[in-house]
Amino acid sequence: MTTKKKLLIGLAALILCAASAGVGAIAATTAGSESDPLVTLSYLEETVVPRMREELGGALDEKAAEIGEKLAGSAGGAQLAEGSKVDGDLRFSVVSLSSGQTLSCSVGTEIMLRIGTAVSFGSSNPRLIDETSGASVSQAGVELAKDHMYIVTIKGNGIKATSNVKVLVRGSYTVG
């Protein structure tokens, strides 16, 4: 082979390499851009979103049925005995207490004083936690603030009415 042929072949190879590199660089800079998206909007709208709705809708329907069965199994919060509620009722109940009556609760029961006056009740510390202010009610006889949400931390603790009161209660309790 002559030097002229070798030079011509080398030059052709160099031009081919440069052209390939240029095309690759252009492709790399436009990939995923608005003009060349990685995933098209029509694919998302026509395929992905309907599939997600179908899968999530089925899972949500199953959970809703499961929760409905649990609520039906707890008798929808039906009264067991005078002044006593079933565990697991997800709704608040309005409970009226006369002056001197106590509301003794299980752990996790939530209480909100709406009308009247009441004090903390129980033999174990902390009596209640004021979820609204984040404070701990450690002593018996501490007056409750209206419209504050209290949570019972120890079984048997609760509130004692110092006037006729109405409270919202979610959880298990007995009136004494």
Out of 2.60.40.10, 2.60.120.10, 3.30.590.10, 3.40.50.720, the CATH code matching 93-175 is 2.60.120.10
Query: Residue 118: pLDDT above 90?
Result: yes
Q: How far apart are the first and last CA of the chain?
A: 112
Query: Mean pLDDT over all residues of the chain?
Result: 79
pLDDT of residue 112: 93
pTM to 2 decimal places: 0.50
| All structural domains of the chain with their residue ranges | 29-73, 93-175
74-84 per-position pLDDT tens digit: 544 444 444 44
Mean pLDDT of 94-113: 92
